[in-house]
A and B are shown apart, each in its own frame.
Chain A
Amino acid sequence: MFELLGITPQGLAAQLLVGLINGSFYAILSLGLAIIFGLLNIINFSHGAQYTMGAFIAWIGLTQVGQWFGFPDFSINYWFALILVPLVMAGFGLILERTMLKRLYHLDHLYGLLLTFGLALIIEGMFRHWYGISGESYPAPELLQGVIPLESIGIILPKYRLWVVIASLVVCFSTWYVIERTKLGSYLRAGTENPKLLQAFGINVPLMISLAYAYGVGLAGFAGVLAAPIFQVNPLMGSNLIIVVFAVVVIGGMGSIMGSILTGLALGLIEGLTKVFYPEASGVVIFVIMAIVLLIRPAGLFGREK
């Protein structure tokens, strides 16, 4: 059989598909980060923790809420959680923004990063304290359990993973459309640069900023729910991911919406291939790419040069 570097074409196709799945998580998380960075000038270090929180809330909804209120049979199912959790997270984001982040806008990026870093520690610590480190498992919804056996071409694809790719692509691209192709988008970009002035032109910038943060956090929550059935729901699931997602945002170009989506997907693929051909390096490949990109294109692949 025809083989390339010890791997069959079918195998390669499967690997690319799997890479794409990871890429969708990168895309959806880095999209949230990019929106927040773009508008608030804050590097939202707690993004990972908020993703974790999304997964945990979904799990709590499914298995715990009923008991809390004395109706052991009551539970919030996956589909419901997929809508509810992002909303809850957005509300949480709104509170954070109104009470804390708001005070940091006039300062260096650094402070936002430190504050959200602190928040991440608190959130992570709480879940660790309540639910331990090993985490909890969350079953995929009935509808999406099982695999799509494409054995003729040697690929077995879990239905759920396919759903993840579709769901996140839809969310990513509709977000992109709203931001880049509508008036709202130019407000967002202008607001990034000079929020005070934009206000003087009659735009409710504080509200816009709050909503943007809430939306970003909501996206993290959404990604959390999507991830819950794949990965163990555990307090560290986000912090392991977040550094990589930062790199994605930087490679894509900080604040560039399309950049973060495409780079997220592409890096998922590249990382997947690295895992096949040189697995030891899969942890570092993204950083190598980041260094190269920044040296060649300082503003990132899709970033605007200042």
Chain B
Amino acid sequence: MALEVKNLESWYGESHILHGVNFAVRDGEVVTLLGRNGAGRSTILKTILGLTSKRTGSVEIYGNQTIALPTYKIARLGVGFCPEERGIFASLSAEENLLLLPEISSGGMGLDEIYEMFPNLYERRNSPGTRLSGGEQQMLAMARILRTGAKLLLLDEITEGLAPVIVQKLGEVVTSLRNKGFTIVLVEQNFRFAAPLADRHYVVEHGNVVEVVNQNELTEKASLLNEYLGV
């Protein structure tokens, strides 16, 4: 089991956002978290990494209980995180951003491989990180975690603001990562993008997982999803 979340609750200061989230992801699986704006999907990812102000419950990553661990130790268990606001560092150049993350384990992609995948980044590699266009920043945020060798990827809205060609390309990237044995938790707004990629979909509402839809149930549960998500 790569990730197992039980009864996870979480707070931002006074406000209680997650109310007992449960889900689990096996090694090599791709799952999505779907839901409306503000449902708490991003918060689930942040809570897994211990980035909210308080959390309770249980989060096991590759068999290690992490609920009491500091963030950096969680990351070192092999978690790669692509945050929703992209989190590019303005004081570092694009390339420095790319090279910033420490290698957590072997098997990360090389720089050449990455530039091949995202030629835009190669062209802009010496620009300050936040001077890249919105989409370029998104690519950079994704690219940099591929270097680290992390095997469990938490990806938050990676298709946001990207041109359709790039979205398509990202779809291919995710598929190939999956084939390489990565485990991926995808938070997506873009259902068309996510649908063919994932083994399972979790629907999040008001800080709870309210529905699980397996890949093979997609058609039969379409109306249900429609109700939840308006897809």
Contact = CB atoms under 8 A, between A and B. Distances in A.
Contact of B75 (A192, A193, A194, A200): A200
Contacts of A201: 72, 75, 81, 100-102, 145, 148
A187 B100 contact: yes
A202 B87 contact: no
Given A187-B100, A194-B87, A200 B92 contact: no
Contacts of A190: 89, 91-92, 100
Contacts of A72: none
A202 B91 contact: no
Contacts of A194: 87, 89
Interface in B29-55: 49, 51
A304 B93 CA distance: 12
A203 B72 contact: yes
Given A194-B89, A196-B51, A186 B100 contact: yes
B76 interface: yes
For A198, A201, A203, A304, which residue has the most chain B Cβ atoms within 10 angstroms?
Answer: A201
Interface of A is mostly: helix
Interface string B63-76: 00000001110111
B83 interface: yes
A204 interface: yes
Interface string A141-176: 000000000000000000000000000000000000
Contacts of A306: 90
Interface residues of A, number: 20
Contacts of B20: none
Nearest to B97: A190
Nearest to B102: A202
Contacts of A205: 72
B72 to A, nearest CB: 5
Interface in B95-115: 96, 99-102, 104
Contacts of B89: 189-190, 193-194
A187 B97 CA distance: 10
B171 interface: no
A192 B89 CA distance: 9
Interface of B: 49, 51, 70-72, 74-76, 79, 81, 83, 87, 89-92, 96, 99-102, 104, 128, 145, 148
30 contacts: A189-B89, A189-B91, A190-B89, A190-B91, A190-B92, A192-B91, A193-B89, A194-B87, A194-B89, A196-B51, A196-B71, A197-B87, A199-B71, A200-B49, A200-B51, A200-B71, A200-B72, A201-B72, A201-B100, A201-B145, A201-B148, A202-B101, A202-B102, A202-B104, A202-B148, A203-B75, A203-B102, A204-B70, A204-B72, A205-B72
